[in-house]
Structure 1
């Protein structure tokens, strides 16, 4: 009889161990919450990247080139007082090509026209130079386009980090709120992902005075950042 009783005891012990094996891991697994955080920093640009083009046309390539050279000489003389404040200055980019003009009369042959151009590029870290330089370019007759993408801040990297720090802090604050609603506390970070980049977004376009074509307001920019994070709930 004793020998027959040992087998049921062994079965009860095995069932108990199996129950513990299934229960303990489930108790050890902490709850988790996944949420997003967003942050942004607003600022006004303090720098600009500018590009101007001197161009001229003539039937003879040499004449077109000479006209561009004359425009460049006027430009260089006009910006003498600002030259030391122009960063990464370059004006050696020269282009010469020939285009065909349509005949004005049916019996006329199309005419060839030489087009010469020279590009000037640089950046400024003082926006008070912007309007004087634009006026110099207008006086010489240089072509240019001024858009919001040409303005930036010299400390944008620091601002990108600040926007990211605010996004992380926002995620932590949301985690604490969720945990408090569940009578728990926000624990360690399990995973965190940074969503997208930190490209500055113009809040408004650069405004120009219609009569003199000078900039009166650059406008604000906003750097945005977001994160997706998973936290333990203790």
Structure 2
């Protein structure tokens, strides 16, 4: 583990992290979060319940920006975007059943068609508000469904709260991956940044240019706060 900005990030190359996640599918229930800049900011300023995020069994860095900041403190973060983790796990030879929560029926059908040898379980994901009877009923349904790996693909931090709630609902085993738009990328509903943007740590810029109205606040107004939190947690706290 590498502790950075108060979070304990998983170490290891992609193969090792993939194996660790696959092993969790056969163990007592846990969930994986994939911290990026937006997640860390909202955790630090209290918009995300701390017990929900820190209750994860594994934190896998999803941000090259965070990795660059960590390097300034002489620390190394293993970057493994959630969308890559999802794609690699689906393409692996691990014998697993995948639950899919978030995508609609059409996207689910496209995912099944892309991975015809995989076993999938569709879990309906209506517009939910945490704490409502509808939310509680959906958590109960998901907790009882057949899956080893649950792909939780709804908005942050709702997916993390859902993953956390499954433990309280008594899910005995398996692992939930909080991986946002991963299924959208796999089914072509959204497109990842070109490789050059990823290599230059500019995937955020591609998303901003592709979806300016949706991403402007996140990347331009709120995003720069990460530098202040970096100074507070990694420089002034030493």
Q: TM-score, normalised by structure 2?
A: 0.20
Higher strand share: 1
Q: Which has the higher contact order (CA 8 A, sep 6+)?
A: 1
Higher helix share: 2
